[in-house]
Amino acid sequence: MQEFNMYINGKPVQSGKTFEVINPATAKPFARCQLGDAAFVDQAVAAAKAAFPAWSKTPDEQRKQLLHQVAAAIEANMPELMELVTRETGKPMGGLNGIGSGMEVGGSAAWTHYTAELQLPVDVIQDNEVARIEVHRKPLGVVASITPWNWPLLIAIWHVIPALRAGNTVVMKPASFTPVSTLRFVQLAGDILPPGVINIVTGGGDVGNAITGHPDVRKVAFTGSTQTGKRIMTSAAKNLARCTLELGGNDAGIVLPDVNVKEVAPKLFGVCFHNNGQTCAALKRLYVHESQYEELGQAMAELAKKVKVGDGMEAGTELGPVQNLAQLEIVQDLAESARADGGRFLAGGKRMDRAGYFFEPTIVADLTDGSRLVDEEPFGPILPIIKYSDIDEVIERANRNECGLGGSIWSSDTRKAAELAQRLECGSAWVNDHGAVQPDAPFGGIKQSGMGVEFGLYGLEEFTSIQTLKIAK
């Protein structure tokens, strides 16, 4: 059993109480972590607050170089970090279309290098005989990062690296299902950064709540469920701490009748099923025109039956298990409700008969809006394919959902598709792609999918406040 400590003010910290981390491919524990509480949160926030003045005044070039060193440490420890990610999440080392632990760890290094290079320019909005007016971007202070279990390391990087780049210090709280790759990352980064700049406390929602409601936390970066996001916003409101909330999605993809079914089916299958559908911006409701409905449904079902499901540590595995038992039960419950609603199961439909939290890749036809499997985010390997006949009507149906993270249009006419994509009510719209993110393009949700954006200069600005400087002449 591997043991992991919390990390506060440049030192490993133990609480004396522990919890176990389960490998979802075996349903057996493989690691033990420290159970933190509000007292450890106080220590971590105090350390981050004490480190803030010096870190925020550290010359820009030096901060940038230190973050490149952090990225290099991720690269140097890639095999170990990949194995930790696979053991805690279940996701394959390689994975469907190369989306697995290798991408998560490699992406973490790439995002860190890219974000390290970002610059916050001073905006001069007036410079004449009357006055010079400059707009400066200032770091906020202590930033909290609270992360979910689906992409634990990559999402932690998305929060922490821009926060540090802008001159803030951080206190992190990973999901208790998947803390270990993040804990190992903090050890590595802690060897490079000054004490107190990066701190981590592990435990459940009570630890998260103690952080988000702490009077010395100036901003909360949260990725997770909509329900928890609302609790966090309420808690942060006590101190008017700012929030970036990246919450649940139930993204629609609309396939226009001009696609080549054989070409589009594998692409669609990938964006729906990679990481077993446990990605916030995976395609979760697939609307297909009636003229191609049967053909595309069958093509997707063939792929679902063929895809290699197994332990992510085994070479060639494309999909792993569902990450935890509670999520598996949500998927099972949605499959049952789809059956009761008259859904036609083109592939899969049940838990697999083996150890671990495996569920068959599942495709369900003949459901429509109003069925729970269509209206609710399953966050697992089950996809409803929904028939439509009229494009205006289907856009209206896609937009009726309370989530607004992403959406996509699939067509051989990209200009027409781009026009339609702009009518989708969501933070990211794709044409002939879905869920693809990159370090320089902003990403975030609207409606119940959250507020604020991550990535690039837009994302970096969210870790700053504006100071307007007016010099009268």
Catalytic choice (280, 376, 454, 461): 280
Measured CA to CA, the distance from residue 279 to residue 271 in angstroms comes to 9
User: Nearer Cβ to ligand NAD, position 323 or 411?
Assistant: 323
Single-letter code of the amino acid located at 392: D
User: Nearer Cβ to ligand NAD, position 249 or 270?
Assistant: 249
User: Nearer Cβ to ligand NAD, position 180 or 265?
Assistant: 180
Best CA proximity match to 192, nearest among 320, 10, 2, 408: 10
Run of H or E residues at 4? strand 2-4
Cross-strand pairs, 286: 253, 385
Measured CA to CA, the distance from residue 219 to residue 151 in angstroms comes to 21
Single-letter code of the amino acid located at 33: C
- 408 touches 281 (CB < 8 A): no
Which tokens hold the place of 21? Answer: 């981390």
Is 318 tagged catalytic? no
Q: Which residue is nearest to ligand NAD (CB)?
A: 208
Measured CA to CA, the distance from residue 151 to residue 85 in angstroms comes to 8
Measured CA to CA, the distance from residue 256 to residue 421 in angstroms comes to 12
Binding site for ligand NAD (CB under 6 A): 146-150, 173, 175-176, 204-205, 208-209, 212, 223-225, 228, 231-232, 246-249, 280, 377, 379, 405, 445, 450
- Give the rounded distance of the alpha carbon of 473 from its chain centre: 48
Measured CA to CA, the distance from residue 227 to residue 207 in angstroms comes to 17
User: Nearer Cβ to ligand NAD, position 10 or 204?
Assistant: 204
Instruction: State the nearest-atom distance from the C-beta of 171 to ligand NAD, in Å.
Output: 12
- 445 touches 404 (CB < 8 A): yes
Contacts with 234 (C-beta within 8 Å, 6 or more apart), sequence order:
none
Contacts with 274 (C-beta within 8 Å, 6 or more apart), sequence order:
95, 96, 97, 99, 282
CA atoms within 13 A on the CB side of 279: 22
Catalytic choice (88, 104, 246, 462): 246
Is 117 tagged catalytic? no
Residue keyed to tokens 């101190």: 239
User: Nearer Cβ to ligand NAD, position 153 or 347?
Assistant: 153
- 409 touches 403 (CB < 8 A): no
Measured CA to CA, the distance from residue 181 to residue 96 in angstroms comes to 21
Cross-strand pairs, 144: 171, 220
Annotated catalytic sites, by residue?
246, 280
